[in-house]
Structure 1
């Protein structure tokens, strides 16, 4: 009994000690136009080119490129070069923030697996917003394009 209690206590303590070392997926204080974590990584490390094949994949830090203040990772040199040739085409719209939230003048963290390619561009949403967003994609996208210039460089916590 004592052994199980001690093991549980050690496990709980190790989890608490690990928290400061964790990378947060979203930086609410950042005034960048790109949704980055506390280390400046965009798309939680997913390769933006991979979305266009329908299979989002984690990139590799050996292949990286900074665009609009966020660092993007890629699965290969070929994907990196493709992105560099036209980053405005391949980077997620609205900096990778939830497109539905941007339509409502907010900057909310997105889920890298809640996405849709619309007119050749990558749009992300929060997981909880995806179903509602897909009911009116065109309306939300149109409204987000109107609101984005006003909030682009405002920290999420300031909205």
Structure 2
């Protein structure tokens, strides 16, 4: 038995809240299958300012919500720092089409994107991105399903045994 049982309980509770409460932990960010770079290193500000997908650079990066975000310039990085929720893609950069069905599609194509109602949506391919515009119900459905998908992502993250090496 622990000599300090209350300390252990407080620590366990804090860890649980960090993963279970979206308000405390922040939105999960899609960093793909490896690494910690958001939206495959593309500049989220460029979608709005240049109306195209532009690769960012590690030289102009910023850590936010546990991920590294890359930008094409210091100016874009600074714009993002001032208003990250304005520029960050919806659903943490997970495929908006997948979220519209209540599922997670980790693999996105940063060139398959749309800005709808001043929000950035990423998809796994250009056809899915077009579908968001052609079928406005997909955006409505993705908004409905996001809290469920987000909880699934947070639960999966919390269930990983970080102390045990992978097989």
Q: 2:93 aligns with which of 93, 96, 120?
A: 96
- The yes-or-no answer on 1:39 pairing with 2:38 is no
TM-score of the pair, normalised by structure 1: 0.72
The match for 2:10 is: none
How much does 1:153 deviate? Answer: 4.2
Q: Which residue, out of 108, 112, 122, partners 1:110?
A: 108
The Cα shift of 1:62 comes to: 1.2
Q: Shift of the alpha carbon at 1:76?
A: 0.9
Contact 1:103 1:140 in 2 (8 A): yes
Of 121, 124, 135, 2:122 maps to 124
Moved more, 89-98 or 67-76: 67-76
Q: Which has the higher contact order (CA 8 A, sep 6+)?
A: 1
- Following the alignment from structure 1 to structure 2, what is the Cα–Cα distance between the partners of residues 153 and 59? 29
Matches within 5 A, 1:30-69: 33-37=28-32, 38-52=34-48, 53-69=50-66
- TM-score (normalizing by structure 2): 0.69
Structure 1 residue 63: deviation in Å? 1.1
Offset at residue 105 of structure 1 (A): 0.8
* CA distance, structure 2, for counterparts of residue 106 and residue 69 of structure 1: 22
Unpaired segments of 5 or more residues in structure 1?
Answer: 1-31
Structure 2 unaligned blocks of 5 or more: 1-26, 157-167
Corresponding residue number in structure 1 for 2:6: none
Q: Partner of 2:152: helix, strand, or coil?
A: coil
Equivalent position of 1:152 in the other structure: 150
Shift of 1:119: 1.1
How far does the alpha carbon of each residue in 1:100-138 deviate from its partner, in whole angstroms, 9 at most, with x for none?
Answer: 1101111102210010111111101111523433321x2
Please give the root-mean-square deviation of Cα atoms over the aligned residues, in Å.
1.8
Q: Distance in 2 between matches of 1:75 and 1:153?
A: 32
Runs of 4+ with deviation above 4 angstroms: none
Q: Distance in 2 between matches of 1:120 and 1:131?
A: 16
